[in-house]
Amino acid sequence: MSEATQTANQVTSLEGMSDDARIWIFQSSRPLVGEARVKVSTTLITFLKDWAAHGKQLFAAFEIHHDQFIVIAVDEAIAQATGCSMDKLMRTIQQLDEELSLNCLDRMKVAYRTETEGIDEVSVNDFTKMLADGKVSAGTYVFNNVLETLGEWRQSWEVPVSRSWHANLLP
């Protein structure tokens, strides 16, 4: 869906949401194309349309970026996501993860831009070694998947290592 709306229980695009919206980023280890993309999209549309916290519908959206990242946002100014509602989201993601072998719940992966402008993914340990060996540098663009708001995502999602938590891995 591409048209943004401001009512609860409507799945919308991220574009129409506030910078203050809370986000979760899930990085798939395989491209979300074809049937996998359709499955993820239809499952999330169905889930988000009914997503509620303590009986209050949540105003939420999702998008798939670079065929690899699932970005989910909720506008907590309308209704806040709670522990139970978060558990439901995580169960939905876990179900997709298992069914499609996405490996998107493994937070010990680093996605970065390669010299050919493609995206590669390695373990945090391998990325640390690549930094030490000079195969990647403080200027290598990485995807910072630990951001908390949509505004942060818009400003700081794909940034050089030196401007991300990944800087802690520099030798």
pLDDT in tens, 71-117: 999 988 777 787 888 899 999 999 999 999 999 999 999 999 998 87
- Could you give the C-alpha distances from 16 to 3, 28, 106, 154, 161, in angstroms and in order? 8, 25, 29, 12, 29
Reading the block at residue 18, the tokens are: 């506030």
Domain regions of the chain by residue span: 14-100, 109-169
pLDDT in tens, 26-81: 999 999 999 999 999 999 999 998 888 888 888 899 999 999 999 999 988 777 78
pTM of the model: 0.89
